[in-house]
Amino acid sequence: MQTAADGRPVVLVTGAARRVGATIARTLHAAGYDLALHCRHSRAELDALVAELEHARPRSTLALQADLSDLARVPELVMTTLLHFRRLDGLVNNASAFHPTPLGMITPAQWDELFAANARAPLFLAQAAGPHLAGRHGAIVNIVDIYAERPLPRHSVYCMAKAALAMATKALAQELAPDVRVNGVAPGAVLWPEAGKPYADQQELLARTPLKRSGTPQDVAGAVLWLLRDAPFVTGQIIRVDGGRSLSM
Which residue in the list 33, 147, 158, 199 is annotated as catalytic?
158
Nearest to 136 by CA among 24, 7, 2, 19: 7
Is it true that the peptide bond before 187 is cis, omega within 30 degrees of 0? no
Residue 33 designated active-site? no
3-class DSSP state for residue 65?
Answer: strand
Count of H helices and E strands in the chain? Answer: 8, 7
Alpha helix stretches (DSSP H) within the chain: 19-30, 43-56, 73-85, 108-115, 121-134, 156-175, 199-207, 217-229
Contact criterion met (CB below 8 Å) for 34 and 60: yes
Active-site annotation, residues: 158
